[in-house]
C-alpha cells in the first residue's frame, strides 16, 4: 500500500505555477502492470494524461467484498499514477452495476425502453454506491485537483462530492448515447439525475445531437436556461454542455495492423480463407450492436448475390460475451447463437462455413491484423455512443488496397465518417445491398473513401479528444494540454484493463472478469 501523500508532483507546470493532479473516476480501473501489452486507446490516452499531471485513477476493483466493512480502498502506485480501487458488496454490485446501470440507464440511453427493468431497490443502490464512492474519493482529493468522471455508472458522483464540500473543477464524459427527452424522461429518478449533472463544470457527450438532446431534457424539464456564453444554468449552477467525439490513435493502430501481418493467428486465418473475401464484425455481445439484424443482412446478401455465395465470401463475427449475468444479455446470447446456426445450416456446404462466430476475445494485435485482412467491415449497431471498432477498422487498412466500412447511421461515428457506406441497420435489404456494393467496390473508390475516412481520424485523434476534454474541465489552453500529452518519448504503454465494461477494450472480458454476483 502506498501513502497518497507521497505522490509524484505534477510535471505539467510552468515555472512558479502549480497545477493540480488529475483524478480519473470510472467504474472499472485498469490494473497497473509493468511491461504489459498495449491497452486500448482510451486507457492509453487517460494514462498519458495521468502521467503528465500526476494523479489518481479511482473506481471499483471489479471484486465483491464479503461485507460492507471490508470495502477498504486499495492503492497501488506506478510512477506518477496511483490506482485506487474499492471492492463492492454483492448487493452493491447487483443493485448499482447489474441493476440500475446496466438494466435501466444502458437500455434507456440506447432507446430500448422495452428492455428497461425498473426497480426501486436498484435505483436506491445506484445512488448509495455513488455516495460511497464519493466518501472514498473525498479522502484522496486535494483542493487543486481536477476530477474527470467517466460514464453512466457514476453520474451522481460530482453531486455527492459537492455535498461533502468539494470545490474542485469536475467534468463528466458520457460514453453512450443520450436520448431525446421523450425517451430519457422514462428514467426512474429522472429529475434527480438531471440535477446531479448540474454539479459538474462540464458535461461531455459523444456527438452534437447527444449534447443537444441533453440540453433539451434540461429545458423541457423546466430546469434550465441557456446563458449568453453558451453555458447552461440549471438547478442553481452554470455548466458547460459540449460534444467531444471520442477517437483512437490512428497511427498507432495502423502500425499495429501492419505489424500484425506477421501474427501467427492472422496468418492462419488468411491461409484458411484460400483467397475468399472476408467480411468482419467485432462487437461485445450486446443487444445495442445489432448483431442479429446484421446476420440477417449477411444472409440476405448471400441470397441476393449467388456469385458471392459461389465465391464463398466468408463472414467472421468476433463477439466476446459481456454482462452475461444480466437476463437481457443471456437472451441476446441465445438469439445470436440460434441465428448463426440457422445461417450456416441454410447457406453452408460441406467445405464452406459462411459465418465463423467466435465468443472469445482476441488479442489486440490479432484483432488489428484481422481488420486489415477483411474486405468489408460491418459496423451496424442499432444505437451506439461512438463505436471505436469503426475507427479501428479504417485505421487498420492498407492504403494501397483498403477494405470498405459499412456503418450504421445510428453509431455516433457516422457523424464524422461520412465516406463510409452509411446504412439503416433495421433495413436488412438495404444493408445487404451495401455489403454487395462494398464487396464489388472498385479499387479507386475504395482508396478515395479510405483517404477521406483516415483524414477524419487524423483530424480528431484520441489525444486531441483528451486535450479538448481536459482543457474544458481545467479551464486551460487546449493546444498546451495537447502538446503536453505526448512529450517526446513519453508514450505510455503499460497497464492492462481489468475488465472491459463498458468502454474499455474488451481484451479481458473473459478470464479476468470478476465473479458475477448471482441475480436474486
Q: Which residues are CB-contacts of 131 (< 8 A; sequence separation ≥ 6)? A: 156, 160
Instruction: Give the single-character DSSP code of 418.
Output: T
Residues 182-189: contacts with CB within 8 Å, 24+ apart?
A: 183/108, 183/111, 183/113, 184/108, 184/109, 184/213, 184/217, 185/217, 185/220, 185/221, 186/108, 186/113, 186/116, 187/104, 187/105, 187/108, 188/104, 188/118, 188/120, 188/123, 189/123, 189/127
The smaller minimum CB distance to ligand GDG, of residues 389 and 498, is found at: 389
Q: Which residues are CB-contacts of 192 (< 8 A; sequence separation ≥ 6)? A: 127, 156
Restricting to residues 360-419, name those near ligand GDG by CB under 6 A: 361-364, 367, 384-389, 392
CA dihedral 205, 512, 294, 308 (to 10 degrees): 130
Of the candidate residues 320, 354, 402, 514, the single one contacting ligand GDG (CB under 6 A): 320
Of the candidate residues 23, 82, 507, 514, the single one contacting ligand GDG (CB under 6 A): 507
Shortest Å, Cβ 22 to ligand GDG: 18
- Counting every residue written for the chain, the total comes to 520
329, 287 in Cβ contact below 8 A? yes
Of the candidate residues 105, 170, 269, 318, the single one contacting ligand GDG (CB under 6 A): 318
The smaller minimum CB distance to ligand GDG, of residues 166 and 184, is found at: 184
The pairing of beta strand 202-205 with beta strand 169-173: parallel
The smaller minimum CB distance to ligand GDG, of residues 362 and 498, is found at: 362
The smaller minimum CB distance to ligand GDG, of residues 242 and 392, is found at: 392
Closest CA to 101 of 502, 496, 434: 502
Q: Which residues are CB-contacts of 289 (< 8 A; sequence separation ≥ 6)? A: 283, 380, 381, 382, 384
d(CA 353, CA 355): 6
Locate 183 and state its grid cell.
Answer: 425517451
Of the candidate residues 45, 211, 394, 506, the single one contacting ligand GDG (CB under 6 A): 506
316 makes contact with ligand GDG (CB under 6 A): no
The smaller minimum CB distance to ligand GDG, of residues 91 and 294, is found at: 294
Interface region with ligand GDG, contact rule CB under 6 A, candidates 160-168, 250-258, 298-306, 504-512: 504-512
Closest CA to 517 of 161, 97, 22, 86: 97
Per-residue contact string for residues 264-303; x = within reach of ligand GDG by CB under 6 A: ------------------x-x-------------------
The smaller minimum CB distance to ligand GDG, of residues 138 and 265, is found at: 265
Instruction: Give the single-character DSSP code of 223.
Output: -
Shortest Å, Cβ 501 to ligand GDG: 8
98, 322 in Cβ contact below 8 A? no
d(CA 185, CA 182): 6
Dihedral of CA 150/151/155/160: which sign? Answer: negative
86, 35 in Cβ contact below 8 A? no
Interface region with ligand GDG, contact rule CB under 6 A, candidates 250-258, 448-456, 470-478, 505-513: 505-513
Restricting to residues 32-71, name those near ligand GDG by CB under 6 A: 40
Restricting to residues 159-188, name those near ligand GDG by CB under 6 A: 175-176
Of the candidate residues 502, 513, 514, 517, the single one contacting ligand GDG (CB under 6 A): 502
Collapsed DSSP state (helix, strand, coil) of residue 111: coil
460 makes contact with ligand GDG (CB under 6 A): no
127 makes contact with ligand GDG (CB under 6 A): no
Restricting to residues 219-248, name those near ligand GDG by CB under 6 A: 246
Of the candidate residues 60, 301, 465, 503, the single one contacting ligand GDG (CB under 6 A): 503
The smaller minimum CB distance to ligand GDG, of residues 441 and 500, is found at: 500
The smaller minimum CB distance to ligand GDG, of residues 99 and 502, is found at: 502
Residues labelled catalytic: 175, 384
Shortest Å, Cβ 373 to ligand GDG: 15
The smaller minimum CB distance to ligand GDG, of residues 47 and 364, is found at: 364
Q: Which residues are CB-contacts of 423 (< 8 A; sequence separation ≥ 6)? A: 380, 406, 407, 408, 409, 430, 431, 434
Shortest Å, Cβ 159 to ligand GDG: 23
241, 211 in Cβ contact below 8 A? yes
328 makes contact with ligand GDG (CB under 6 A): no
| Total of residues contacting ligand GDG (CB under 6 A) | 25
Interface region with ligand GDG, contact rule CB under 6 A, candidates 61-69, 268-276, 434-442, 502-510: 502-510
- Using CB under 6 A, list all residues that contact ligand GDG: 40, 175-176, 246, 282, 284, 318, 320, 361-364, 367, 384-389, 392, 502-503, 505-507
Amino acid at each position: 500500500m502506498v501513502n497518497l501523500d507521497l505522490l509524484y508532483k505534477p510535471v505539467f507546470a510552468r515555472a512558479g505555477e502549480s497545477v493540480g493532479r488529475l483524478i480519473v473516476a470510472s467504474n472499472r480501473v485498469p490494473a497497473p502492470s509493468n511491461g504489459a501489452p498495449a491497452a486500448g486507446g482510451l486507457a492509453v490516452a487517460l494514462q498519458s494524461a495521468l502521467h503528465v499531471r500526476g494523479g489518481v485513477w479511482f473506481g471499483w476493483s471489479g471484486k465483491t467484498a464479503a461485507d460492507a466493512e471490508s470495502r477498504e480502498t486499495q492503492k497501488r502506485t506506478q510512477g506518477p499514477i496511483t490506482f485506487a480501487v474499492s471492492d463492492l458488496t454483492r448487493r452493491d454490485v447487483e443493485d448499482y452495476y447489474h441493476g440500475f446501470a446496466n438494466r435501466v440507464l444502458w437500455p434507456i440511453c440506447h432507446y430500448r425502453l422495452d428492455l428497461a427493468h425498473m426497480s426501486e431497490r436498484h435505483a436506491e443502490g445506484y445512488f448509495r454506491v455513488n455516495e460511497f464512492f464519493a466518501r472514498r474519493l473525498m479522502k484522496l482529493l486535494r483542493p487543486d485537483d481536477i476530477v474527470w468522471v467517466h460514464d453512466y455508472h457514476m453520474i451522481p458522483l460530482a453531486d455527492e462530492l459537492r455535498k461533502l464540500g468539494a470545490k474542485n473543477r469536475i467534468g463528466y464524459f458520457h460514453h453512450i448515447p443520450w436520448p431525446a427527452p421523450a425517451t430519457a424522461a422514462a428514467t426512474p429518478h429522472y429529475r434527480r439525475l438531471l440535477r446531479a449533472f448540474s454539479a459538474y463544470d462540464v458535461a461531455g457527450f459523444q456527438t452534437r445531437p447527444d449534447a443537444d438532446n441533453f440540453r433539451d431534457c434540461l429545458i423541457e424539464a423546466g430546469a434550465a436556461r441557456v446563458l449568453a456564453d453558451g453555458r447552461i444554468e440549471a438547478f442553481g449552477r452554470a455548466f458547460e454542455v459540449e460534444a467531444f467525439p471520442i477517437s483512437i490513435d490512428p497511427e498507432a493502430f495502423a502500425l499495429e495492423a501492419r505489424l500484425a501481418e506477421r501474427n501467427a493467428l492472422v496468418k492462419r486465418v488468411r491461409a484458411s480463407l484460400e483467397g475468399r473475401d472476408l467480411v468482419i464484425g467485432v462487437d461485445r455481445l450486446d443487444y445495442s450492436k445489432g448483431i442479429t439484424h446484421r446476420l440477417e443482412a449477411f444472409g440476405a446478401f448471400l441470397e441476393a448475390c449467388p456469385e458471392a455465395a459461389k465465391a464463398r465470401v466468408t463472414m467472421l463475427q468476433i463477439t466476446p460475451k459481456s454482462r452475461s449475468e444480466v437476463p437481457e444479455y443471456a437472451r441476446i446470447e441465445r438469439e445470436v447463437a440460434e441465428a448463426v446456426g440457422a445461417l450456416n445450416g441454410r447457406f453452408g456446404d460441406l467445405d464452406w462455413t459462411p459465418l465463423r462466430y467466435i465468443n472469445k476475445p482476441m488479442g489486440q494485435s490479432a484483432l488489428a491484423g484481422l481488420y486489415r485482412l477483411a474486405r468489408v467491415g460491418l459496423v451496424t449497431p442499432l444505437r451506439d455512443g461512438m463505436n471505436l471498432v469503426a475507427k479501428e477498422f479504417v485505421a487498420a487498412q492498407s492504403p494501397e488496397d483498403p477494405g470498405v466500412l459499412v456503418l450504421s447511421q445510428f453509431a455516433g461515428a457516422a457523424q464524422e465518417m461520412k465516406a463510409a457506406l452509411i446504412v439503416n441497420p433495421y433495413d436488412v435489404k438495404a444493408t445487404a445491398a451495401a455489403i454487395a456494393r462494398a464487396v464489388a467496390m472498385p479499387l479507386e473508390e475504395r482508396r478515395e473513401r479510405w483517404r477521406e475516412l483516415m483524414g477524419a481520424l487524423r483530424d480528431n485523434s484520441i489525444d486531441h479528444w483528451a486535450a479538448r476534454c481536459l482543457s474544458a474541465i481545467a479551464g486551460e489552453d487546449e493546444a498546451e494540454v495537447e502538446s503536453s500529452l505526448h512529450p517526446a518519448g513519453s508514450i505510455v504503454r503499460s497497464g492492462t484493463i481489468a475488465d472491459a465494461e463498458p468502454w474499455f477494450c474488451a481484451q479481458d472480458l473473459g478470464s479476468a472478469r470478476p465473479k458475477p454476483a448471482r441475480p436474486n
